[in-house]
Structure 1
Amino acid sequence: MWEEEQTKVLIVEGTTDKRKVESILKEPLEIICTNGTLSISKLDELVDTLYDKEVYILVDADDAGEKLRGLFKREFPEAEHLYIDRMYKEVANAPRHHLASILLHANIDVDIDAY
């Protein structure tokens, strides 16, 4: 199955986002939920644990998501930022095929039968 230590990490805002992404993944990927907010100290802790991994940020296309994205851009500039179309506003509301396309463009393998 999947190896225990994943080298790719996706950061999302909530558990609904996490479940949506998990439903289309075909490769091992650790998904971390920020639950919408993240203190600077918690962010620093998180950054320390991710220094040797491929990190992707996928947050909502709203003010809270952009604020969180801004924090990651400052504190973890190596992370790759993935963007949903603004018309969907939230990752959880984005159609599976839209999310699959975004993930595929980031070289994250998805299950094409899942969408």
Structure 2
Amino acid sequence: MVDNEKIIIVEGLSDKKQIKKILADEVEIICTNGTLGVERLEELLIEYDLDNKDVFILVDEDNAGHKLRKQLSKELPHAEHIFIDKAFREVAATPEPELATALLSRSIAVNPIFLI
């Protein structure tokens, strides 16, 4: 069981690594590795107690990301959405200052060296 109250859901490991280095908060980051099957989503809901945590959805600005965001929105209506600029398309390709600002906008503490 995870004790963290904040959880960020991302698509892939490269997204997780990019976000993890920016964070100053204790935040659990879950990788979906693309779209989720119903069973896997149910496992995540139970394993991470997602119904009782602050959940943030941060996915790529592409078709797969939009599909995943829509799916997660249905299952986790309380989740907050963090968006990246469409110009970067992928979370992993988003410059650190951009990501830091996006995370900070949702009251997620970031290392100040990533803020311009």
Aligned-pair CA distance for 1:45: 2.3
Residue 67 (1) aligns with residue 67 (2): yes
- Contact 1:23–1:114, Cα closer than 8 Å, also in 2: no
Report the secondary structure of 2:108's partner residue: coil
5 Å-filtered alignment, 1:49-88, equals 49-88=49-88
Unaligned segments of structure 2, at least 5 residues: none
Cα distance 1:68–1:14, how it changes in 2: closer, same or farther (>3 A)?
same
Query: Deviations along 1:17-47, whole A, 9 cap, x unmatched?
Result: 0000001100100000001121012112222
Tell me, in whole angstroms, the C-alpha distance in 2 between the residues paired with 1:45 and 1:70: 18
Q: Amino acid of the residue matched to residue 60 of structure 1? A: D
Aligned-pair CA distance for 1:80: 0.5
In the other structure, the counterpart of 2:22 is: 24
Task: Give the TM-score taking structure 2 as reference length.
Answer: 0.92
Give the count of matched residue pairs: 112
Report the secondary structure of 2:52's partner residue: coil
In the other structure, the counterpart of 2:106 is: 106
Tell me, in whole angstroms, the C-alpha distance in 1 between the residues paired with 2:50 and 2:110: 22
> Which 4+ stretches in 1 moved above 6 angstroms?
none
Task: Give the TM-score taking structure 1 as reference length.
Answer: 0.92
Report the secondary structure of 1:9's partner residue: strand
In the other structure, the counterpart of 1:95 is: 95
Unaligned segments of structure 1, at least 5 residues: none
Report the RMSD for the aligned CA atoms in angstroms: 1.2
Q: Amino acid of the residue matched to residue 59 of structure 1? A: V
Determine what percentage of the aligned residue pairs are the same residue.
Answer: 46
